[in-house]
Amino acid sequence: MSTFVLLTITGLGLGAMYFLVASGLSLIYGLMGVLNFAHGAFITFGAYAAWWLSTKVSGSFEVQLLVGAAFGLLVGAALAALVELVFIRPLYRRPVEQVLVTVGLALSLGALVYGIWGADAKFFPVPDWMLDTTTILGANIPNDRFVEIAVAIVVLLGLVGLLRFTRVGLVIRAGVENRAMVTALGIDVRKAFTLVFALGGSLAALAGVLSGVYYGTIDPARGTSLLIFAFIVVVIGGFGSIGGSAVAAVAVGLVQQYANFYVADWLDWSGAGDVAVMLLLASVLLLRPEGLAPKVAH
Amino acid sequence: MRARTYVVPLAALALLAVVPLLSFDVPRLLPGPLDSPGTLQLLALCLVFAGVALSYDVLFGFTGLLSFGHALYFALGVYVPAIALTKWEWGLPQALLLLAAVALVVPLVLGAVSLRVGGIAFAMVTLAFAQAGNIVVQTNPRNLTGGDEGFSLNVDPLPDFLIGVVNTKYLYWLALGYAVLVFLVARAAIGSSAGHVWRAIRDNERRVEVLGLRPYPYKLISFVLACFLASWGGFMWLLLIGVTPEVTAATLTLTLLVMVVLGGAGTRFGAMVGGFAYTLLDYRLRSLAGEERIQDLPDVFRVPLSEPLFLLGALFVAVVFFVPGGLASLPARLRLLVWRRRAEEAS
């Protein structure tokens, strides 16, 4: 029982990170039709920016982490806005070229991280209380899991609030539904494009920072490995749906953790968890090719 | 006109075929004289990737299917025969038969699932399957794949002329044969009636449906053919380089995409030239990164210049922006430029 509780909460913690990456990807795709491969670079750059500033700040780990995280989020948002303005905007209405450009950027930016910071993992500032454990139903759970889950819930509520109750959110929702109509009504959707990109970039950076807390280190391959699971979450959850992303992220995180423990033990093979996620994806596609939720931003 | 279109490719083929017999230097571009093993190995890799890039172009450029999982099928060609020869100690013919079967069945099954969705979802699903392959290889189940390290191939079942540095020229000819074979198969497939449907699907899938054809089986044929051809490129990699887990990484697929777009998607020679040129450029940039005049530069220039992938990614973005159509479109662009110049002069 205690193992099951530990696996569940760890799975939710992982799912929280997948959700942060996937929600941005999903909104960007839903609104603009751009599959953003450069999203992994936003994760990595955000995490490294947070780490870099945290080594320059003196103070407790809490202060370092908060200051670093704030800076990382800014860097993620700025990088994403820059990518949208310089590379994506000139290629509107050419979706294949847009994907190709984000692929090129993903390769270039990924190589740049290796060039600047090297291939070795960097230790991330993690406050002591996050490394301590809390006992729930006999399971000793590291406290950082609760931080990740709490952050994801706050982001989920914030995104839903933004989409439901603000004018920008209305434009985004309408844009996901029918971009041509919104433009015809005289609303400049391009502003919403840049905003959604910057928002997605900062959420990706936040996921990068949280992954630093979760693993205790960051490395240049972090962005790519999170991105692939986030892609799976987006496909399972349905493009453009925040709620779908949240449900799918939880499902993927839990399946990965359970399979990693129970099936891996049984098969004596450590890849079982990740491969189980791919099987989940294949079965969802066979049963519901359009994903869990149809394309509506809510 | 018909005869002229064959002159350049046949001359290039003849030139490539005699390379191992020539011994002059091509300074700055190649590591040694043309007949040195190092150069022949590099050129053989260039030829292999010319073939693999064309196989990817069948899928992407001719059928309009953006797959992010081609590395998986390339990796099958590396790992399946390597495991059969080394871990199970099979003979070469049995290992190759096994590869042929696996290289047909795996893309057939995975393609049948992935093609249930189209467009971007298809791209993501193929990526996920390839990633599963990457994880299987990295986690080394039953000690079959050797994990991060790979393993050394048991060369006993291989014929003598494929082993040893002195025999690199035979590997080179084999690679040339692979590239030519992929070209001939791709040409025949693209020219067939299925090939016409592929291009119609690429241009407008809805119209194909309205005309009363089901696109699904045609897309599946394209997928299986492209993956099957790529697997044999993987086998060439096994002979030239060995068992390395990098071949399963998503980066390899992205690299193939870069090769095809660089050369010109939807053109046979373009994709091959793209694959050849990219591999050569990648090698050159790697050795350039180690040179002193780069190492002495200030960090702002040194760091990006020492990362070949950064430069290749940037080059790719530039091609997408400024030369859509890739290298293959250059002659037409130049002709247009000259024609315009003349028209201006005349007026």
pLDDT tens digits, one per residue of B306-324: 788 888 889 889 988 888 8
Cross-chain residue pair A115–B258, CB shorter than 8 Å: no
Averaged over B187-203, what is the pLDDT?
Answer: 93
**pLDDT score recorded for residue B151:** 85
Q: Identify whether B237 is part of a domain.
A: yes
* Percentage, residues of chain A above pLDDT 70: 97
CATH code at position B305: 1.10.3470
Tens-digit pLDDT profile for residues A40-77: 999 999 999 999 998 888 878 888 888 889 999 999 99
Distances (CA, A) of A211 to A157, A205, A265: 21, 10, 25
Contacts of A96 in chain B (CB under 8 A): 66
* Candidates A228, A280, A287, A295, partner chain B, best to mutate (most B CBs within 10 A): A228
CA geometry: angle A14, A16, A22, nearest 5 deg: 105
CA geometry: angle B289, B293, B299, nearest 5 deg: 70
How far apart, in whole angstroms, are the C-alpha atoms of residue B273 and residue B252? Answer: 17
CA geometry: angle B190, B5, B259, nearest 5 deg: 55
Distances (CA, A) of B222 to B9, B47, B126, B142, B206: 25, 22, 14, 34, 18
DSSP B167: G
Tens-digit pLDDT profile for residues B235-276: 999 999 989 888 888 889 989 998 999 888 888 888 999 999
- Band the pLDDT of B4: cuts 50, 70, 90: low
**pLDDT score recorded for residue A192:** 85
Averaged over A141-156, what is the pLDDT?
Answer: 90
Identify which of A201, A225, A285 has the alpha carbon closest to the alpha carbon of residue A27. Answer: A201
3-state secondary structure of A140: strand
**pLDDT score recorded for residue A297:** 45
Q: How far is A252 from chain B (nearest CA, A)?
A: 13
Q: How far is A65 from chain B (nearest CA, A)?
A: 28
**pLDDT score recorded for residue B191:** 92
CA B140 to chain centre: 26
Q: How far is A270 from chain B (nearest CA, A)?
A: 6
Tens-digit pLDDT profile for residues A94-135: 878 888 899 899 989 988 988 888 888 888 888 878 778 888
- Band the pLDDT of B3: cuts 50, 70, 90: low
**pLDDT score recorded for residue B1:** 45
B117 and A CB contact within 8 Å: yes
Contacts of A101 in chain B (CB under 8 A): 317, 320-321
Between B309 and A291, the more confident residue is B309
* Percentage, residues of chain A above pLDDT 90: 35
CA geometry: angle B47, B229, B115, nearest 5 deg: 135
Q: Identify whether B251 is part of a domain.
A: yes
Do residues A130 and A143 lie in contact, with contact meaning Cβ atoms separated by under 8 Å?
yes
Cross-chain residue pair A235–B124, CB shorter than 8 Å: yes
Closest-CA residue of B relative to A33 is B120
Q: How far is A113 from chain B (nearest CA, A)?
A: 10
* Candidates B59, B122, B131, partner chain A, best to mutate (most A CBs within 10 A): B131
Asked whether the predicted pLDDT for residue A292 surpasses 70, the reply is no
**pLDDT score recorded for residue A268:** 72
What are A105's two structure tokens? 């950027």
- CB under 8 Å to A139, separation ≥6 — which residues? A1, A2, A3, A4, A5, A6, A9
For residues A212, A218, A224, A228, the Cα torsion angle rounded to the nearest 10 degrees is: -30
DSSP B60-77: IIIT----S-HHHHHHHH
Q: Identify whether B120 is part of a domain.
A: yes
* Candidates B320, B321, B323, partner chain A, best to mutate (most A CBs within 10 A): B320
**pLDDT score recorded for residue A294:** 54
**pLDDT score recorded for residue B222:** 96
Contacts of A220 in chain B (CB under 8 A): none
Averaged over B211-234, what is the pLDDT?
Answer: 95
Averaged over B187-205, what is the pLDDT?
Answer: 92
* Percentage, residues of chain B above pLDDT 90: 41
**pLDDT score recorded for residue B62:** 94
Cross-chain residue pair B316–A103, CB shorter than 8 Å: yes
Contacts of A233 in chain B (CB under 8 A): none
Tens-digit pLDDT profile for residues B137-177: 888 888 888 888 888 888 888 888 888 777 888 999 999 99
Average confidence score pLDDT of chain B: 88
Q: Give residue B156's domain range.
A: 34-346
**pLDDT score recorded for residue B2:** 56
Contacts of B307 in chain A (CB under 8 A): 111-112, 114-115
CA geometry: angle B284, B270, B102, nearest 5 deg: 85
Chain pair A-B, CB pairs under 8 angstroms: 124
**pLDDT score recorded for residue A291:** 66
Cross-chain residue pair B131–A111, CB shorter than 8 Å: no
B109 and A CB contact within 8 Å: no
CB < 8 Å from A in window 293-322 of B: 303-304, 306-310, 312-314, 316-317, 320-321
Total domains in the fold of chain B = 1
Tens-digit pLDDT profile for residues B32-78: 788 888 889 999 999 999 999 999 999 999 999 999 999 999 999 99
Asked whether the predicted pLDDT for residue A296 surpasses 50, the reply is no
Among the residue ranges B16-25, B110-119, B257-266, the one predicted with the least confidence is B16-25
Do residues B67 and B134 lie in contact, with contact meaning Cβ atoms separated by under 8 Å?
no
The helix, strand and coil proportions of chain B, stated in percent and rounded to the nearest 5, come to: 80, 0, 20
Q: Identify whether B269 is part of a domain.
A: yes
Q: Please give the backbone phi and psi of residue B280, each rounded to the nearest 5 degrees, phi first.
A: -65, -45
Model confidence, pTM: 0.87
Burial class (CB in 10 A: 0-12, 13-18, 19+), B59: buried
B286 and A CB contact within 8 Å: no
Q: Identify whether B213 is part of a domain.
A: yes
Q: Identify whether B292 is part of a domain.
A: yes
Asked whether the predicted pLDDT for residue B304 surpasses 90, the reply is no
* Candidates A108, A229, A245, A281, partner chain B, best to mutate (most B CBs within 10 A): A108
3-state secondary structure of A164: helix
Q: Identify whether B249 is part of a domain.
A: yes
Q: Identify whether B22 is part of a domain.
A: no
Cross-chain residue pair A111–B309, CB shorter than 8 Å: yes
